[in-house]
Structure 1
C-alpha cells in the first residue's frame, strides 16, 4: 500500500544545520538557523522565564486540559500586549484570543477558518515571505497568490506592493508582516502602513497580520503600530501572534490567534467557530508556554526583568547590523550592504546571490539560506572581520 510513496528532499535549513555540524573549519559561522543566539552562539533561557518556571513548578496542582481556546489568563495578557492596554477594541469586546501551538499553529487555525467560513477567497502573501506560509495556506485548500515586496536592487518595493494590492479582488485575504519581515527585514513605515490601510479599505480586503517577532524591531509598542492601526480602523482583522521568540521559549510552542470583529456579538459567533477548528486540529494547546507568559506578565517584577532582557536582545541585533556594514567599509562594500543596517529583526535579506552563498559555504564555512537570508543573531564581534573578508572575496 505504501510502495508508491516517494521520498521528498529534506528541509533546507535543517540540512544546513547538519552540514554545519560536520564542517571542520575552525572559523565556520552559522547564519542559517532561525532562532536568537547570544554572543557565545547559545540560545539561553531568559532569567524571567527561569524564575517564572520555578514559581509554576512550586504552585502547580494539575495537568488537566486547558480547553480549545487555551488558558483565559494567557489570552488576558496577550491581547493587551498586542492591541494595547487601553485599546478601544478591547474596551468594546471586539477581540478574542485562542491559544495555539506556536505562531504556526495560529496560522493554521486562521487558514482553516478562512477555508471553511470564507470559501473561494484567495490569499495574497509577499514575495518573498516565510516559506511555510505557502505550505500552510495551500494545505488548507486556499488559492495562493503573491504581491511584490523587494525590488531587484534589494530594497523594499513599496510602490510595487501598493500597486499590486490595488488590483487584488475584493474580499480576498492579504497577509502582512507586522514587523521584522521574514525573510527580508524590510518593515513598513507608519506612513506606509496608513497607505496600505487605505487600499485595504478601498478593496474591502481581509488583513491577516503575522506578528511573530513583537519586540525585536523597535520595541513592543512600536512594533505593534500597524496591528493596532488596522484593529482600530477596520471591522475585521485576523492576527497571528507568537510568544515563542520574544520569550525565548521556542520548544514550548506558544502562539495565539486573535480575531477582531465588528462587535461583541459577531465576535462570539466567530469564537465558537474557531473552537471547532482548534478541536479538529489538535483539541487543546500545550499549557506550559502560555503559563510562563502569564506568570511573567502578571507580575510587575518579572515583567520588568523580561522587558529588560528583550531590550538587550533587540539592541544587540541592531548594533550588529550597524557593525556588519562598518566592517565592510575597508572593502568598499558598505554602501552596497547598507540595507542590512536599515532592516529590523533577526533576519536580513543580504542581496547575496545563490552562487555567492555557495562560495561562502564551500570556501569559508559560512552557512546561510541560498536566498541570501542571514540570521543577524549569528553575527558576533569576533566573526565580523572574517565575514567581511569572505563577503568581499565573493564580490570580486
Structure 2
C-alpha cells in the first residue's frame, strides 16, 4: 500500500523553518512563523494566562469530556468579546474548536453540508492554509485581488453571486499587513446585501492592529448589516496560546431554530474530525475573560504587545529610509499587525536568506512581531543589501551555506 504514495508537497512555512534550523550562522534571523516574540526573543506566557492557569490548578477540576461543543463558558465569553452586544450574541451560536484552523475547517464543512460545491472567494495573496482547508472540505475556491488597492478587491467581488461565500480577514491581513479602509468594509457589506453572498470572517490577530475594539469593528458592522455571517476565531496570538490550540467557530443566523441546526451540524463535523477539543486553553481564556481583574491585565498586556509591534515597524521604516530605500519604507508604513509584506521578488527573498541569513517567505512576508528591537538595523541592512546586490546566477547559491538545506519554491 504505502509504496503507492507519491511524494506529497511539503508545508512551505515549516520547510523554511527547517532550513533556518540547519543554517549554522549565529546572526541568522527567523521571520517565518507567525509568533510574537518579546525584546529578549522569547515567546512569553502572558501574566493573565499564568494567573488563570494557577487558579485552574488550585481548583483541580475534573478532566472529564466537555462535550462536542467544548467549554460552554469559553463559548459564551468568546461570543461576548467578539460581538460586543447582547443584540448580536442573541443571533449567534458558537462551538469551541482546535484553534482557528479547526474553526475554518468546521465552518467550511458547514458550508459544504448546506450547499455542496459552494464557491468560496479568498484573497490573492492569502494565508497559506486558506485554500487547502477549503478545498479539503470539497469547496470550490476563487480569488479576488488584494493589496493592489481596495478598488481591485471591490471590482473582483462584484462577480460573487448569491450563495457564494467570501472569506475576509477581519484585521491585520496575513500576509500583506494591509487592511481595507472603513468605507471599503461598508461597501463590502453593501455588495453582500445586494448580491446575496455570505461573509466568512477569519479573526486571528484582533488586538494587535489598532486595538481590540477597533480591530473587531468590521466584523461587528457585518453582523449588524447582514442576516448570516460566519466567523473563525483564534486565541493563539492575542492570548499567546499557540500550542494549546484554542479557537472558536461562530455563526450568526436569522432564527434560533436555524442556529440550533447550525450547532448540531458543527458538532457532527467535529465528531468526525476530532470528536472534542482540548479544554485547557479554553478554560484559561474563560477564566481571564470572566474575571474583571484578569481581563484588565490581559488587555494591558495585549496593548503593550501591539505597541511593540508598531514600534518595530516604525523603526524598520526609519532605518530603510536612512539607507536609501524609500519605496520599501513607504510600503511598510501603511501596514499593521504581526506581518509585513516586503515588496521583493521571490528571487530577492531567496537572495536575502543566502546573503544575510534573514528568513521570510518567498512571497515577501516577514513576521515583524518576531524581531528583537536591537536586530532592526540588521534587518534593514539585509533588505538594502538585497536591493543593491546582483541577481543570483542560474544554479547559484548567493552565499547560502551548503549545510543550510534545500530551498522551498514557495
TM-score with structure 1 setting the length: 0.95
**Which residue pairs with 1:358 in the alignment?**
350
2:99 corresponds, among 90, 97, 102, to 102
Distance 1:264 1:98 in 2: 15
Cα pair 2:318 2:329 within 8 Å, conserved: no
**Which residue pairs with 2:131 in the alignment?**
134
Distance 2:269 2:373 in 1: 47
Aligned residue for 1:257, secondary structure, equals strand
Could you tell me how far 1:175 is from its partner in structure 2? 0.3
Indicate yes or no: 2:274 matched with 1:275: no
1:300 corresponds, among 292, 295, 319, to 292
Could you tell me how far 1:385 is from its partner in structure 2? 1.4
Cα pair 2:37 2:372 within 8 Å, conserved: no
Could you tell me how far 1:8 is from its partner in structure 2? 2.3
Cα pair 1:102 1:256 within 8 Å, conserved: yes
- Unmatched runs of 5 consecutive residues or more in structure 2: 389-410
Cα pair 2:202 2:233 within 8 Å, conserved: yes
Q: Deviations over 1:204-231 (max 9, x none)?
A: 0011000111111111110011110111
Aligned residue for 2:129, secondary structure, equals helix
Aligned residue for 1:176, secondary structure, equals strand
Distance 1:95 1:262 in 2: 9
Q: Deviations over 1:74-102 (max 9, x none)?
A: 01110111001x24222xx2100100000
Indicate yes or no: 2:74 matched with 1:35: no
Distance 1:233 1:168 in 2: 18
2:362 corresponds, among 363, 370, 380, to 370
Cα pair 1:88 1:232 within 8 Å, conserved: no
Distance 1:199 1:167 in 2: 10
Distance 1:390 1:336 in 2: 13
Could you tell me how far 1:275 is from its partner in structure 2? 1.7
Indicate yes or no: 2:120 matched with 1:123: yes
Distance 1:301 1:101 in 2: 27
Could you tell me how far 1:302 is from its partner in structure 2? 0.9
Distance 1:80 1:68 in 2: 20
Distance 2:7 2:73 in 1: 43
Could you tell me how far 1:17 is from its partner in structure 2? 1.8
TM-score with structure 2 setting the length: 0.92
Distance 1:87 1:298 in 2: 16
Q: CA RMSD in A?
A: 1.2
Could you tell me how far 1:19 is from its partner in structure 2? 2.1
Distance 1:186 1:329 in 2: 20
Could you tell me how far 1:282 is from its partner in structure 2? 1.3
Cα pair 2:117 2:138 within 8 Å, conserved: no
**Which residue pairs with 1:144 in the alignment?**
141
**Which residue pairs with 1:380 in the alignment?**
372
Cα pair 1:337 1:350 within 8 Å, conserved: no
Aligned residue for 1:316, secondary structure, equals helix
Cα pair 1:112 1:277 within 8 Å, conserved: yes
Distance 1:55 1:148 in 2: 47
Cα pair 1:326 1:334 within 8 Å, conserved: no
User: Map of 1:206-245 to 2, 5 A cutoff?
Assistant: 206-245=198-237
- 1:110/1:325 Cα in 2 relative to 1: closer, same or farther (>3 Å)? same
